[in-house]
Structure 1
């Protein structure tokens, strides 16, 4: 095994893993399935690592692998599901409530000033550390912290969801 290849891939997964897991969650809506999906896509990516010449395109490769794998799994499950007269005793997921929360958050994000929106997106959607965000925005780490804090307070107020919404971290006392 090529140590350089292995280490380079390990660094990529450590840096981009959380953001890729969030993408997998969007595809599956289930944490365990998302982890399995990401693992399968990363395994495919590792096997193709030497053929990926543009390292900036790796995220796209992994996302495409996740989408293709999810479609394959969906098709396989579709063939394994049969109609029955008995309903399972499983709780029903309220997709409507989740969709309403997502819409409320999207509208609230759209109302944020551009810099606050970008800071929140980089911090919570891309899982970037504050130091990297500061570098991208060309500001100090303290400015990033205050910008994100103000944006999160505004999101809490605008959505009316406060601490109950899992997508918005709770306000620090």
Structure 2
């Protein structure tokens, strides 16, 4: 079984906590056979900034370092209908417009505290956009090489199965 199959099975066992389009994106499938929106370089850079606030760089690299924005763009293009893409990117534009209204600057130009404040406001003002952005960011990050090897423990070739192994204090959770 490969990593993608394991993620799919764990997701199903957990009650489908990952949406169907995100799961299709993890599996590398293309479920949207209709038209898609063209994403600009500015939108992609904006996605990277938002993702980096959701999973910032700490003692491990953050979402921006993992290239999570590329995952988000690909999954939105390949796995979501055009109407859903329009809603998502409209939510991104609203976040930028709200930043300009509140601070007089684009979201990308804000300092970290202001970006955090704007995302907290978005959890209330545009909850649907925030939840989708968070889902795609977390999924993209933890299925990336950086997320699986730096933020989680990863064994490329596991040894024998041990069902109950105690974790050492401070040890990271295991990647699938």
When Rg is computed on C-alpha atoms for both structures, the one with the higher figure is 1
Specify which structure has the bigger relative contact order, considering alpha-carbon pairs within 8 angstroms and separated by 6 or more residues.
2
User: Which protein is richer in helix relative to its size?
Assistant: 1
Same fold (TM over 0.5): no
Give the alignment's TM-score, normalised by structure 2.
Answer: 0.31
